[in-house]
Structure 1
Amino acid sequence: MGVTLSSVDKQTRQDLILGVISEREVGTQQELIEALKDVGVEVAQATVSRDLAELGVLKVGSRYLALPHEPGSAGIEVLPSFVLGVTPAQNIVVIHTRDGTAGAVSNVLDRVRGLRLVGTIAGQDTVMGVAPDSGAAEEVANLIADVCRARTRPAGSIE
């Protein structure tokens, strides 16, 4: 495997965690620990748990999603209040929102790491999200629906 980087600093470790979550579907802390080990970083479960909590990573359905915290910006927690419906159509995800909230929803979706969207376009009450393929569009629609059904929880907890 090469050199073990178990002594990486916190920022580097958290950047690696965000990278792993963005690049592949990870659903448990143990899977994340294994993914970090694959890149040469050995870390304890308690450390991963703390990092996930600090990074604001959410467990949505069976996978982690990360929304980097930006002061003054809406977070993923606004979706249940703003989203009225989600429909995948080929490689597009159509998201109907409350009047005037499409821009905020679009902004949130554009910032979620690990969400398989190429980008979004917002109108007044509709967001169009473009996914790389129909499978990704279906996955994104299901993840948004899970968030809106409050099937999310902070990821930094013992599993």
Structure 2
Amino acid sequence: MGKTLRHRAIKEIIANLPINSQDILLNMLIEKGFNVTQATLSRDIKELKIAKIPTSSGEYAYQLPHQSINDDSERSRNLSSFGFISIEFSGSLAVIKTRPGYAMGIAGDIDARATSTILGTVAGDDTILIIPRENISREKILESLSDIIPTIQ
């Protein structure tokens, strides 16, 4: 079974089950007949831009970057608003501070939805570096981010 089928299986598992570790995901893939190593799964998770985000129970679970956008746009905005702490600019770059564990999920939403103003993001656990496109003003950046993070100022 190839990479495309494996990626599809990973997305299906994560979209339907609360998976909180790579070991669990790896075992589920093996049970489905995939011959996959931990290293390959780690690369797949990175390629699919899957992030671990806090759940309502306070634990962490993997989530697809577009899952909340496609399934429930309002839920995505609420999670982004809850996770957002602040934004600060330095020249044309911006840094967003988030609650621990939220940066990758919010960055995934930004990468998917603000493509006309944002060239890309780099996310850690609680910090996102925003790289805007050429000649985009701070006001335009804030305007495009306000669709994703309604509480942004």
TM-score by length of 1: 0.44
Which protein, 1 or 2, shows the higher relative CO under an 8 Å CA cutoff with sep ≥ 6?
1
Scaled by the length of structure 2, the TM-score of the pair is 0.46
